[in-house]
């Protein structure tokens, strides 16, 4: 009886509390134009890289044909600078007719024909950050209906050119308006990033109710300094941030910039590893037409994707930071497995780090199997008290996937006739 009461309360709480679209039970994955392609609208001199339907069709082709889609990268997302500078005579947003001659509806159809989803960008305010038409409070319902009529699957809603009280009204209004369209449109809210990303200015309980993901902090740029700044901000505020994430509601440390110009090989591996541990949305912003095999391999690492997509949806955290500038990060995963990342913020040389699982407060079960996620190296029978050493390159990472030794035995036993 007691049990029944508890589960009923849980069901009621879930119905009343979550954004009612059932989307993004695991972190969303896909591609987003902004970091790599910005507001390049010069299609006459740079036709391949300007914000145009061609760019998004090219990326949809690559996602569908180069193995990305099968791994879960399914969103093709437009960012700022897609719209015409004026709304049409009915007050509706329209795509720039030169750069999107077929219109967004046709682009959505194209993307859907590839088995992918289309995301679009709007801004709660008088203008977008790039100076294109924004969405004022009285235009919210119209714009939600317009996006739905085009067959859009996700909206990133930015917050330039509006104040805090407009945002406090507008974000819940847009969430409701998207739901009211009857189309499942995932909702990405930039709201917290405008309010400093922390309580009491930011109400994460409310955000979890109205948004599927939210940007907490600064924009990412194409540099290690930027990535590192973001990682440090998330570890500094992990006590607040870790518990607000879960299925359908994710903290968003911004795009993956792997495949661009600013990160070394080690740094690229570190961004992917930490984004996996943080249960972060995996939106690449790079040129999939010209990405190296090495960078693709990082972004397509199946085990890291599996860690990122773990169904429990628990965000990981930094569990230790030594004076040696080595950080240990951990994410609890389903089926008594876990991911450990040893991340170096050193700038000298490969560092030999010796520890034991028990020193990291991992005490049960007594014995683990360990899989080194990037090298593929496997070690069985690691007892929690046994010391082991990992070698971590400067600004690099070693990621270990731990699973109970017994689970392996069980799978083998099951296979026997
Ligand atoms: C920023 C936002 C970026 C990008 C840009 C577009 O505010 O954080 O991710 O969307 O606006 O102008």
Mutation to probe ligand 1, out of 131, 158, 214 (largest number of atoms < 8 A from CB): 158
In the sheet that holds 282-284, the strands lie side by side as: 250-252, 213-215, 186-189, 154-158, 117-123, 75-77, 29-32, 282-284
Q: Are residues 26 and 110 in the same domain?
A: yes
For the chain, the farthest-separated pair of C-alpha atoms sits apart, in whole angstroms, at 72
Q: Are residues 62 and 156 in the same domain?
A: yes
Instruction: Determine the atom of ligand 1 nearest the C-alpha atom of 158.
Output: 7
Give the active site residue among 218, 219, 287, 366.
219
| Cα 293 to Cα 32, 265, 285, distances in angstroms | 20, 12, 16
R_g over Cα of the chain: 22
Q: Are residues 276 and 331 in the same domain?
A: no
**244: DSSP letter:** G
For ligand 1, atom 7, which residue shows the shortest CA distance? 129
The question of whether 310 is a catalytic residue gets the answer no
Q: CATH number for the domain including 334?
A: 2.60.40.1180
Q: Are residues 303 and 403 in the same domain?
A: no
250 within a domain of the structure (yes/no): yes
For ligand 1, atom 8, which residue shows the shortest CA distance? 219
127 within a domain of the structure (yes/no): yes
97 CB burial (10 A radius; 0-12, 13-18, 19+): exposed
Q: What is the average per-residue pLDDT within 229-241?
A: 98
Instruction: Determine the atom of ligand 1 nearest the C-alpha atom of 160.
Output: 7
d(CA 304, CA 274): 10
Q: Are 331 and 279 contacting, i.e. CB atoms less than 8 angstroms apart?
A: yes
Q: Show which of 258, 278, 308 is a domain's final residue.
A: 308
* 266: number of Cβ within 10 Å: 16
Instruction: Determine the atom of ligand 1 nearest the C-alpha atom of 121.
Output: 10
How many domains, in total, are found in the chain? 2
7 within a domain of the structure (yes/no): yes
| Ligand 1 geometric centre to CA of 268 (Å) | 22
Residue 10 above 80 pLDDT? no
Mutation to probe ligand 1, out of 40, 80, 155 (largest number of atoms < 8 A from CB): 80
Q: Are residues 161 and 30 in the same domain?
A: yes
Structure tokens, 363: 């005490």
Q: CATH number for the domain including 149?
A: 3.20.20.70
Q: List beta partners, residue 250.
A: 213
The question of whether 219 is a catalytic residue gets the answer yes
Confidence of residue 7 (pLDDT cuts 50, 70, 90): very low
Rounded to the nearest 5 degrees, what angle is found at the Cα of 23, between the Cα atoms of 239 and 79? Answer: 85
Q: Show which of 262, 287, 308 is a domain's final residue.
A: 308
Question: Can you give the pLDDT at residue 405?
Answer: 83
Residue 393 above 50 pLDDT? yes
d(CA 228, CA 395): 9
Structure tokens, 284: 């690449």
Instruction: Determine the atom of ligand 1 nearest the C-alpha atom of 159.
Output: 7
* 214: number of Cβ within 10 Å: 27
Confidence of residue 406 (pLDDT cuts 50, 70, 90): low
Instruction: Determine the atom of ligand 1 nearest the C-alpha atom of 35.
Output: 9
Q: What is the average per-residue pLDDT within 54-78?
A: 99
Q: Are residues 350 and 403 in the same domain?
A: yes
| Ligand 1 geometric centre to CA of 33 (Å) | 10
- Collapse the DSSP code of 159 into the 3-class scheme (helix H, G, I; strand E, B; otherwise coil) and give the result: coil
216 within a domain of the structure (yes/no): yes
| Ligand 1 geometric centre to CA of 132 (Å) | 12
**Percent of the chain, pLDDT > 70?**
93
Mutation to probe ligand 1, out of 190, 191, 222 (largest number of atoms < 8 A from CB): 190
Q: Show which of 260, 276, 308 is a domain's final residue.
A: 308
| Ligand 1 geometric centre to CA of 219 (Å) | 7
Q: Are residues 262 and 347 in the same domain?
A: no
Its sign, for the CA torsion 87, 76, 253, 203, is positive
68 within a domain of the structure (yes/no): yes
**242: DSSP letter:** G
Q: What is the average per-residue pLDDT within 149-167?
A: 98
| Ligand 1 geometric centre to CA of 158 (Å) | 7
For ligand 1, atom 5, which residue shows the shortest CA distance? 129
Mutation to probe ligand 1, out of 129, 217, 283 (largest number of atoms < 8 A from CB): 129
Q: Which regions of 183-312 does DSSP assign to beta strands (E)?
A: 186-189, 213-215, 250-252, 282-284
Round the average pLDDT of the chain to a whole number and report it. Answer: 94
E strand or H helix at 238, and its extent? Answer: helix 238-241
Structural domain containing residue 358: 317-412
Question: Can you give the pLDDT at residue 407?
Answer: 56
Q: Which residues line ligand 1 (CB under 6 A)?
A: 34, 79-80, 128-130, 158, 160, 190, 219
| Ligand 1 geometric centre to CA of 376 (Å) | 37
Q: Are residues 392 and 277 in the same domain?
A: no
Q: Are residues 304 and 376 in the same domain?
A: no
Question: Can you give the pLDDT at residue 3?
Answer: 42
Q: Are 344 and 394 contacting, i.e. CB atoms less than 8 angstroms apart?
A: yes
Digit-coded pLDDT (tens) for 334-360: 999 999 999 999 999 999 999 999 999
**Residue 363 backbone dihedrals phi, psi, to 5 degrees:** -120, -15
| Ligand 1 geometric centre to CA of 392 (Å) | 34
417 within a domain of the structure (yes/no): no
E strand or H helix at 319, and its extent? Answer: strand 317-321
**139: DSSP letter:** G
94 within a domain of the structure (yes/no): yes
161 CB burial (10 A radius; 0-12, 13-18, 19+): middle
Question: Can you give the pLDDT at residue 13?
Answer: 39
Question: Can you give the pLDDT at residue 258?
Answer: 99
Q: Are residues 146 and 90 in the same domain?
A: yes
Q: Are 274 and 341 contacting, i.e. CB atoms less than 8 angstroms apart?
A: yes
For ligand 1, atom 3, which residue shows the shortest CA distance? 219
Structure tokens, 40: 């390049």
293 within a domain of the structure (yes/no): yes
- Give the global pTM: 0.94
Q: Are residues 403 and 258 in the same domain?
A: no
| Ligand 1 geometric centre to CA of 72 (Å) | 24
| Ligand 1 geometric centre to CA of 228 (Å) | 19
Q: What is the average per-residue pLDDT within 298-322?
A: 98
Q: What is the average per-residue pLDDT within 162-189?
A: 98
Give the active site residue among 153, 158, 252, 310.
158
Confidence of residue 409 (pLDDT cuts 50, 70, 90): very low
Instruction: Determine the atom of ligand 1 nearest the C-alpha atom of 220.
Output: 9
DSSP output for 372-395: ETTT--EEEEEETT--EEEEE-TT
Q: Are residues 213 and 92 in the same domain?
A: yes
Structure tokens, 362: 């991992």
Among 131, 111, 343, smallest CA distance to 235 is for 343
Confidence of residue 101 (pLDDT cuts 50, 70, 90): very high
């Amino acid at each position: 009886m007691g049990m029944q009461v508890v589960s009923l309360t849980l069901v009621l709480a879930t119905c009343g509390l979550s954004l009612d679209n059932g989307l993004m039970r695991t972190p969303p994955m896909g591609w987003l134009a902004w970091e790599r392609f910005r507001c390049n609208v010069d299609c006459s001199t740079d036709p391949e890289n300007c914000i145009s339907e061609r760019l998004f069709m090219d990326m949809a082709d690559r996602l569908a044909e180069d193995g990305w889609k099968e791994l879960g990268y399914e969103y093709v997302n437009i960012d700022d600078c897609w719209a015409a500078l004026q709304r049409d005579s009915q007050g509706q947003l329209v795509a720039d007719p030169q750069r999107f001659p077929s219109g967004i509806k046709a682009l959505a159809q194209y993307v859907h024909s590839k088995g992918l989803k289309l995301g679009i960008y709007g801004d709660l305010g008088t203008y977008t950050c790039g100076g294109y038409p924004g969405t004022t409070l009285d235009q919210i319902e119209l714009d939600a209906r317009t996006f739905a009529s085009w067959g859009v699957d996700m909206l990133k809603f930015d917050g330039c050119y509006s104040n805090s009280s407009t945002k406090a009204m507008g974000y819940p209004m847009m969430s409701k308006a998207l739901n009211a369209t009857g189309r499942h449109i995932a909702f990405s809210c930039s709201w917290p990033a405008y309010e400093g990303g922390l309580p009491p200015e930011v109400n994460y309980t409310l955000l979890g109710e109205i948004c599927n993901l939210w940007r907490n902090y600064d924009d990412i740029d194409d540099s290690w300094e930027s990535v590192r700044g973001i990682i440090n901000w998330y570890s500094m505020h992990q006590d607040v941030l870790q518990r607000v994430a879960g299925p359908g509601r994710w903290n968003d440390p911004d795009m993956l910039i792997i495949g661009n110009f600013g990160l070394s090989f080690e740094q690229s591996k570190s961004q992917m590893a930490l984004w996996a541990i943080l249960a972060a949305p995996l939106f690449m912003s790079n040129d999939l037409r010209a990405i190296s095999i090495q960078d693709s391999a990082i972004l397509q690492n199946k085990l890291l994707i599996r860690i990122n997509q773990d169904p429990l949806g628990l965000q990981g955290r930094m569990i230790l930071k030594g004076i040696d500038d080595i950080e240990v990060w951990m994410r609890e995963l389903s089926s008594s497995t876990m991911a450990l990342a040893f991340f170096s913020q050193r700038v000298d040389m490969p560092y030999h780090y010796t520890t034991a699982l028990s020193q990291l407060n991992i005490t049960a079960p007594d014995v683990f199997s360990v899989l080194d996620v990037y090298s593929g190296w496997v070690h069985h029978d690691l007892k929690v008290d046994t010391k082991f050493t990992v070698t971590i390159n400067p600004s690099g990472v070693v990621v270990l996937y731990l699973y109970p030794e017994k689970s392996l035995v069980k799978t083998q036993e099951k296979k026997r006739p």
